[in-house]
Amino acid sequence: MPATMTLAVVCGLMFECWRSCRPRVIASALFVCYLVFGGLLVRGWIVMPLLPHLFQASRIAGRAVTTYLQQRAGPLYVIGASAEYNMLAYVRTPVREVALDELARLDIVATAVLLPEELEALSQQNPKLHFAVGEELTSLKQHYRIVEIFP
């Protein structure tokens, strides 16, 4: 960020120097800049207001978790290696980050947000656990499940 002004001055000097001797390079660079700027305008002023759900997956998933947890007491458990912090920022209840083996040793009813492979690994680590698999969530192109864990 601090170098932006310096970069702009250098580019302006290059533009002035190359405008007469290399007009094709300048025209090509300006064309690419116009395309990038136009694409950003279209995305920011047209696509994002008309299709907000495409850009709010983390917020939608976080609100779904909060809605699910309103009917239950206790914290939300997540596995530390796969915790999706953009989604968890919208969760209004306490969140505990644990390892998979800690979650397998819990002796209380717990609610967790897990990846499908974590759910399989959890059932293999402790076959005595029972699961009630809830809603599927998508955040940052990862598919999570809300899971109720019963000892």
Residue 133 in contact with residue 145, Cβ under 8 Å? yes
Residue 78 in contact with residue 88, Cβ under 8 Å? yes
At 138 the pLDDT is 83
Burial class for 143, CB neighbours closer than 10 Å (0-12, 13-18, 19+): exposed
Question: pLDDT per residue over 49-85, tens digit each?
Answer: 999 888 888 898 889 898 888 888 889 999 988 888 8
The rounded distance, in Å, linking the Cα atoms of 79 and 113 is: 8
Question: pLDDT per residue over 23-36, tens digit each?
Answer: 999 899 889 999 99
Angle, vertex CA 82, rays to CA 48 and CA 98, nearest 5: 130
Percentage with pLDDT > 70 across the chain:
99
Calculate Rg over the CA atoms of the chain: 25
Percentage with pLDDT > 90 across the chain:
32
